């Protein structure tokens, strides 16, 4: 059987038989930084430099509507500090409508090549317009136009309609001309309440250390069974 035949063999594509053995070295309580943001900064730097991950700032954002029905999508982290984790979106999108009714959110950073995950749970609040405008000015010109062209999550007739809208905007705001910040576009800051650092280990006995926010502003660390 050739490599190509093996790749096409249904048995080779059986998810039940797909498995990898993770690393021997793990994560201990003494390895952790004092705060989850400091620990995240360490792992994020390693993901971006040592791990050579494609878009290490990509994260899965999970929200739920008023009835508790969940939805998930991948977005890009654009800032993080002691106040939380920031991403930007269309405020008319599904995620934004769900967050308006239910601000509780989960963020997942799936750093699979490093056998690592970071899971954040917290509360999302809109960023201020000055902060939003400052970030918007750093976006490439085409991305600024795209924020106007897309009625995110809305149904459209076809791709041609989207391209036509973008072309009209490109004619109105050519390269070099300032694009106004859309009033329906902006950021969310997720203030963390828990942050779990998951390190894959051999035999599926993974290390899971979770920071939990205390009422006095400090953090408690607890180990979870894998």
Residues with active-site annotation: 204
In the DSSP assignment, the letter for residue 19 is -
Structure tokens given for 160: 């041609």
Burial 154-189 (b: 16+ CB within 10 A, else e): eeeeeeeeeeebbeebeeebeeeeebebbeebbbbb
Q: What Å distances lie between residue 8 and 15, 49, 164, CA to CA?
A: 14, 34, 40
Measuring CA to CA, which residue among 106, 119, 80, 120 is closest to residue 198? 119
Instruction: Report residue 15 as tokens.
Output: 């998810």
Q: Within the chain, where are the H helices? A: 3-8, 36-49, 94-101, 129-136, 141-149, 159-172
What b-and-e string marks burial along 60-88, b requiring 16 or more CB atoms within 10 Å of the CB? ebbbbeeeeeeeeeebebebbeeebbbbb
């Amino acid at each position: 059987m050739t490599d190509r035949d093996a790749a096409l063999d249904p048995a080779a594509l059986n998810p039940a038989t797909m498995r990898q053995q993770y690393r021997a070295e793990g994560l201990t309580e003494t390895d952790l930084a004092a705060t989850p943001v400091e620990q995240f900064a360490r792992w994020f730097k390693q993901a971006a430099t040592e791990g050579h991950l494609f878009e290490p700032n990509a994260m899965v954002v999970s929200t739920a509507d008023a009835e508790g029905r969940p939805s998930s999508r991948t977005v890009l982290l654009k800032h993080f500090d002691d106040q939380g984790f920031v991403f930007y979106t269309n405020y008319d999108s599904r995620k934004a409508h769900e967050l308006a009714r239910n601000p509780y959110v989960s963020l997942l950073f799936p750093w699979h090549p490093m056998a690592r995950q970071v899971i954040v749970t917290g509360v999302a609040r809109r960023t201020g317009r000055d902060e939003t405008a400052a970030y918007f000015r750093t976006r490439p010109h085409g991305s600024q136009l795209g924020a106007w062209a897309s009625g995110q999550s809305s149904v459209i007739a076809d791709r041609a309609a989207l391209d036509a809208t973008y072309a009209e905007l490109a004619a109105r705001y050519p390269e070099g001309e300032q694009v106004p910040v859309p009033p329906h576009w902006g950021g969310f800051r997720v203030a963390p309440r828990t942050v779990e650092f998951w390190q894959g280990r051999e035999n599926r006995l993974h290390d899971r250390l979770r920071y939990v926010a205390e009422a006095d502003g400090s953090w408690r660390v607890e180990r979870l069974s894998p």
